[in-house]
Structure 1
C-alpha cells in the first residue's frame, strides 16, 4: 500500500497528521498510566488495615495458645481470645477487599481514559489513512497501465466544477476518446491524491 503522497506538500500534511494522531494516542496512554498509578496509591491505607488485621490475629492466636496452657481455665481463656482472632481476620479481610477494589478502579480508569481519549481519534484517522492507501495504490497501478480508468474515476469522483475546468463536457470527451481531455482528467484524479501525473502521455 502507498500511505504517503508523492507531492511533498500533501505528504508533509499526511506525515503531520500521522504524528499528531500517534502523539495523541501516546499522550492518552501516559495519562492513563498516571491516573492508574495515582489511584493505586489509595491502596496504602487499605494495606495498612490488612496488615493491622494480620497483626491482631497473630497476637490473639499466640495469646490463645498461651492461655490454653493455663490449668483449669485455659480452654475458656483460649475461647475468649478466639474472638479477637476473628476480629483480626475480619479486619484483614476488609483491608484486602479494599486493596482489590482500588486495583479494579485503577484499571477501569486507565482503560476508560485510553478508550475515551484515543479511540475517537483512531476511529477517524485510521479509516481515512487506510482508504487513502487503497485509493493511491489503485491509482498508481492504473497510472502504469492506462489513463482511461483514471479519467473515468475522476468523472465519477471529482466535483463537477473541477471537471468543467478540464472540459465543457468531460463525459462526452471521454466517450469519444479525446486523448487530451482523458489525459487531463487522469492528471486531475492523480493530483487529488497527491500523486504525479504519468510522465509518458498516452498515444
Structure 2
C-alpha cells in the first residue's frame, strides 16, 4: 500500500490531515479522562458512608464485646448491641452501591466521549486514506508493469469535458491508435491526479 502521495502539495495535505486526526483522538481522550475525573469526584459521599458505616460497625462490635463480659445480662446485652453492627454494615453497603454507581457512570461517560468522536473519524477520515492508498498502489502497479494504456483509458473516463477540450487533437482517437505520446500524456495526468509519480 502507498499511504502518501509523491507530490509535495498533496503529501503535505495528507500529513496535516493525519496529524489533525491524531490530535482529534488525543483531544477527546484527554477531555474524556478529565470528564471521568469530574464524575468520580461525586463518589466522595459514598466514601463517607463507607467510612461512617465501618465506624458504626466497629463501635457496636466493641460495645457488644465489652457488654458480653457483664455478669448475668452480658449475653443478652451483647446480642442487642451486636444487632447494631448490622446498621453499620447497611450504611457501608449503601456507600459501596453509591460508589459503584458513580464509577459505572464515569466509565460510560469516558467510553462515550472517546468512542463517538473516534467512530466519526473512522467513518470520515479513514475511508479517504484507504481509498487513496488503494488507488495509488494500483496506479503504481499499472505504471510499473508498462500498462500505461489502462491508465490513459482511466484518465479519459475521469477527465471533465473542459479538460478534454483543451487537447489539440482528439485524445480518444490517439488512445485508440495506440499513440505512445497521447497515452503517455494521459497516463501521466492520471498518475498526477492520484498523487503518484510515473
- What is the aligned partner in structure 2 of residue 201 from structure 1? none
Structure 2-normalised TM-score?
A: 0.91
Residue correspondence of structure 1 range 20-35 to structure 2 within 5 A: 20-35=20-35
- Conserved in 2, the CA contact under 8 Å of 1:166 and 1:181? no
1:59 matched to 2:59? yes
C-alpha separation in 1, matches of 2:120 and 2:99: 32
C-alpha displacement of 1:87? 0.6
> Which structure 2 segments of 5+ residues have no match?
none
- Conserved in 2, the CA contact under 8 Å of 1:21 and 1:122? no
Give a deviation string over 1:32-55, Cα, whole Å, max 9, x none: 111111211222221111011011
- What is the aligned partner in structure 2 of residue 129 from structure 1? 129
RMSD: 1.8
Task: Write out the 4+ residue segments of structure 1 that deviate beyond 6 Å after TM superposition.
Answer: none
Give a deviation string over 1:126-169, Cα, whole Å, max 9, x none: 11111111111111121222211211222334444434434775
C-alpha separation in 1, matches of 2:64 and 2:169: 103
Instruction: Call closer, same or farther: CA 1:158–1:64 in 2, change over 3 Å.
Output: farther
Instruction: Call closer, same or farther: CA 1:72–1:10 in 2, change over 3 Å.
Output: same
1:152 matched to 2:148? no
- Conserved in 2, the CA contact under 8 Å of 1:67 and 1:74? yes
C-alpha displacement of 1:90? 0.3
Structure 1-normalised TM-score?
A: 0.89
Between the two proteins, the alignment pairs up a number of residues equal to: 197
